[in-house]
Amino acid sequence: MDDTGDSGCLAISMETSLSMSNKLNAESLEREVKWFKAVVKARFDLYFGRETDIDEIYAISAPDLSADQSEFAQIIRETGMGFEERLIVILALLPHLQPQALDFFMMSNQDLARGFTEFGGWRGKFHSGFLPTCETAVFLLAGEDLSTRFDVLQLFQADHSLSKKGIIKIAQVANGEPFLSAALTITAEYLGRMTTGKNQKPDYTMHFPAKLITTSLTWQDLVLSTEVMDEIENINAWLQHSAKILQQWDLGRNIKPGYRVLFYGPPGTGKTLTATLIGKAADIDVYRIDLSMVVSKYIGETEKNLANVFDQAGNKRWILFFDEADALFGKRTQTSNANDRYANQEIAYLLQRIEDYPGIVILATNQKTNMDEAFARRFQTSVHFALPDGEQRLRLWQGMFTGNSRLSENVDLNELADKYILSGGGITNAVRYAAIQAVRMNRETIFHDDLINGVRKELLKEGRTQ
């Protein structure tokens, strides 16, 4: 049956839906920006003593969103944002929507021949306009009223919904500077939802050294021992029932909500695939941390890079997967100089972030003995991924060719499984090599010798001949 027409209709339907979402968000945001501009004008009039009918900015009501069907309006309602929160959000959004609307804040103080300190703001590397800081928001909400200023400060605390839900990000430029000088930005996730209606997940960048990993495979494609699968089921059960254990059973007073796991064993034994399948089963994103981007030779950079990942992951229940974790969480060195002391402080910081993380953290290593004991003691479980035995290798070989008629009659999978000790990853590589050889020889089938040669190449990579 030809389903091309159905697929085309689905694509058009999705495109129409996105177009409608864009339109609804645009209409809502236009009203929000108009309200913001009125608030800014009122604040400037009040601050500079100009004639105005407005006694306070709170007299300017925000647009009514009770019947608004846009994604933007739904977020505002779901999060219970009031006047202050909405003003902060639109302020953070404006550099992406109408950057010229913030040009008011670039006026010069004629007495000092420079900008107004109380307006806050920072300059981007390429953006020529005004970028807001927390000070900008406080100026709008409090003006010169010190009491109101103190009240507004709580809007920028880590436990406030704006930060806790990952709506805004507050980035301190340098240690020792006033807290309110921190850059105020909207997160990529909420920028997408409030504009295009798309939930844009963060991707690998220099500032976000983690990659979303997915798989089309299922648990049936994973060959593990009964003992390992039992440990995995414990993790799955925690993901499914942790709220019941912590809240209904009232154990949350003594048990932290996070769960820390160590996967250890030779390469290619299924550690990464298992982590990905755990997330897939629970409908939770799995992010693999790129340790080459996290670990830095510069003092303070490792904490900064890793903090960025944990800060974004904190309210989303992501599974954080640290592959080759001993590069970051390895044994601490004996303290002999200032660099050693700082490296150990760095390890302690990382340990604390992992302990405080409310989601699943999986650390993977080829050698358990390389891991720092202080970390190992804090794992809820350690799972050993051993090389598969003969029966498991046969299942892996057979799984590679399920429903496939490309094997020649002389292929003996039993012999391959019994004779050659390979990991699942090694078997996959051997099959890939054999398929390439068959195609190069213009054959439609894979010969036994193709597979043998592929196996031998894998053994040579590992320094083995058998």
Looking at residue 11, its pLDDT comes to 46
Domain ranges of the chain: 18-195, 210-384, 390-461
How many other C-beta atoms can be found within 10 angstroms of the C-beta atom of residue 322? 27
The per-residue DSSP string of 100-169 comes to GGGGGGG-EETTTTEE-GGG--B--SS--S-B-BHHHHHHHHHTT-HHHHHHHHGGGSTTSHHHHTTSEE
Contact in structure between 362 and 321 (CB atoms under 8 Å):
yes
- CA 369 to chain CA centroid, Å, is 29
Separation CA 184–CA 160 (nearest Å): 14
Residue-by-residue pLDDT tens, the chain, 466 positions:
445 455 454 444 545 555 777 889 999 999 999 999 999 999 999 999 999 999 999 999 999 999 999 999 999 999 999 999 999 999 999 999 999 999 989 988 887 778 899 999 998 889 999 999 999 999 999 999 999 999 999 999 988 999 988 899 998 767 788 999 999 999 888 999 999 888 777 776 666 788 899 999 999 999 999 999 999 999 999 999 999 999 999 998 889 888 999 999 999 999 999 999 999 999 999 999 876 666 665 556 667 777 778 888 877 889 999 888 877 666 655 555 555 565 566 667 777 888 889 999 999 988 888 777 767 777 889 999 999 999 999 999 999 987 767 899 899 999 999 999 999 999 999 999 999 999 999 999 999 999 999 999 999 988 877 6
Looking at residue 350, its pLDDT comes to 75
Looking at residue 112, its pLDDT comes to 79
Looking at residue 109, its pLDDT comes to 83
Looking at residue 168, its pLDDT comes to 93
Superfamily (CATH) of domain 210-384:
P-loop containing nucleotide triphosphate hydrolases (3.40.50.300)
- CA 52 to chain CA centroid, Å, is 47
Looking at residue 97, its pLDDT comes to 95
By C-alpha distance, which of 332, 333, 327, 289 is closest to 307? 289
Burial class of residue 236 in the structure, from the number of CB atoms within 10 Å of its CB (0-12 exposed, 13-18 middle, 19+ buried): middle
Which stretch of DSSP H or E encloses residue 294? helix 291-294
Separation CA 322–CA 258 (nearest Å): 15
Separation CA 272–CA 56 (nearest Å): 57
Looking at residue 182, its pLDDT comes to 94
> Which architecture, in CATH terms, is 390-461?
Orthogonal Bundle (1.10)
Separation CA 101–CA 279 (nearest Å): 42
Separation CA 120–CA 116 (nearest Å): 8
Looking at residue 276, its pLDDT comes to 96
Looking at residue 7, its pLDDT comes to 47
- Which residues are CB-contacts of 386 (< 8 A; sequence separation ≥ 6)? 225, 265, 266, 269
Is the alpha carbon torsion for 332, 312, 305, 326 positive or negative?
Answer: positive
